[in-house]
Amino acid sequence: MKRHETQKLENGKEDSSVYSPTEKFEQSQGAGPLNKEGLKRINGFPKAIKFIGILLFGGLGLMIAIALFLQIFLK
């Protein structure tokens, strides 16, 4: 009988493996799992990528601020 993921093992030890629905796809494509630690270190990105990110997020924030200003003060 197959063990369900919520059932404990007979010997009392837990299975530490985590099910990933894209794991087989990632292995077949030759890519490993997403490196989340690399995304946390923004200083490791090239200057051009950081500049583009600052422009995009800054522009988005500016548009939201302008929209709120127009919505509140021009009623």
DSSP string, 11-30: TSPPP-----TTHHHHHHTT
The ranges assigned to domains in the chain are 23-73
Q: CA angle at residue 37 from 34 to 39, to 5 degrees?
A: 75
Please, what are the averages of pLDDT over each run of 10 residues along the chain (75 residues)?
69 61 70 68 82 94 95 85
Count of positions (residues) in the chain: 75
pTM of the model: 0.43
**pLDDT value at residue 56:** 96
